[in-house]
């Protein structure tokens, strides 16, 4: 069972999200919060696996709350859910440690699939912001050169796994494509993040795109 906490300052939005998620037999909404401070308190109390985090909330906003969570041991995975698609929100959310970024007009089936993807340790981005994100992080030959220098620390097998992550594959999908066990892929991903100084799969995927940028 995937335990989810919903953090949004609009009660109607929280109710709608709860109804969508609880229609899935493998997802349980364990708590709701109306701002970042309340979200942090209820995360401590309920220990969810995934947090659906709005950006604009009173008191402590979603980005600041996500940044605090990134310092916690065994922190839940954060899936940022917002109506805003300005590039700086995406970049700041990912830099703050978010594992994914979706918009509130995401279809219900895609939302539940995203929760599952994030819960299993993968990352997810709304398709219409992926290009902006990659463009932002891959400008200039200096960026490409630095990315390739950092990737030189990886073994050939780690580079194969990184390529699968950059394609948006889950651990299970990467394992099937590379004829490895899922546990082996998970271990490689952890080693890759450690070698590259990354905190989540999105960051290593961006680095892979930086290295391959034309």
Give a yes or no: residue 34 inside a domain.
yes
Give a yes or no: residue 200 inside a domain.
yes
Give a yes or no: residue 132 inside a domain.
no
Give a yes or no: residue 116 inside a domain.
yes
Same domain, 42 and 102: yes
Q: Which long-range contacts link 183-192 to residues 24+ away (Cβ below 8 Å)?
A: 185/161, 186/121, 188/157, 188/158, 188/161, 189/121, 189/161, 189/165, 191/158, 192/154, 192/158, 192/161, 192/162, 192/165
Q: What is the CATH number for 185? A: 1.10.10.10
Same domain, 48 and 103: yes
Two tokens, residue 183: 């546990």
Instruction: Give the predicted TM-score (pTM) of the model.
Output: 0.66
Q: How far apart are the C-alpha atoms of 142 and 117, rounded to whole Å?
A: 33
Give a yes or no: residue 133 inside a domain.
no
Same domain, 122 and 22: yes
Same domain, 155 and 107: no
Q: What is the CATH number for 112? A: 3.40.50.2300
The parent domain of residue 122 ranges over 2-126
Give a yes or no: residue 13 inside a domain.
yes
Which of 72, 100, 126 lies at the terminal end of a domain, its last residue?
Answer: 126
Each residue's pLDDT tens digit in the chain (214 positions)? 999 999 999 999 999 999 999 999 999 999 999 999 999 999 999 999 999 999 889 989 998 999 899 889 889 999 988 776 665 666 677 777 788 888 888 889 889 988 998 898 877 766 655 555 555 555 556 777 888 999 999 999 999 999 998 887 888 889 999 999 999 999 999 999 999 998 888 788 888 878 874 3
Over the stretch 154-203, which tens digit does the pLDDT of each residue have? 999 999 999 998 887 888 889 999 999 999 999 999 999 999 998 888 78
């Amino acid at each position: 069972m995937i335990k989810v906490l919903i953090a949004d300052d609009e009660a109607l939005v929280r109710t709608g999200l709860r109804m969508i998620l609880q229609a899935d037999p493998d997802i349980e909404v364990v708590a709701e919060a109306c701002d970042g401070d309340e979200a942090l308190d209820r995360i401590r109390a309920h220990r969810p696996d995934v947090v659906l985090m709005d950006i604009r909330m009173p008191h402590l906003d979603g980005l600041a709350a996500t940044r605090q969570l990134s310092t916690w041991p065994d922190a839940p995975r954060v899936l940022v859910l917002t109506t805003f698609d300005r590039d700086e929100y995406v970049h700041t959310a990912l830099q703050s440690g978010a594992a994914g970024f979706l918009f509130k007009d995401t279809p219900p089936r895609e939302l539940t699939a995203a929760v599952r993807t994030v819960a299993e340790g993968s990352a997810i981005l709304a398709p219409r912001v992926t290009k902006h994100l990659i463009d932002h992080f891959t400008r200039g030959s200096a960026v490409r050169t630095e990315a390739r220098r950092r990737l030189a620390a990886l073994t050939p097998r780690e580079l194969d796994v990184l390529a699968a992550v950059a394609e948006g594959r889950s651990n299970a999908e990467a394992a099937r494509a590379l004829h490895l066990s899922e546990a082996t892929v998970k271990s490689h991903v952890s080693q890759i993040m450690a070698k590259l100084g990354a905190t989540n799969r999105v960051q290593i995927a961006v680095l892979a795109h930086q290295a391959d940028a034309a």
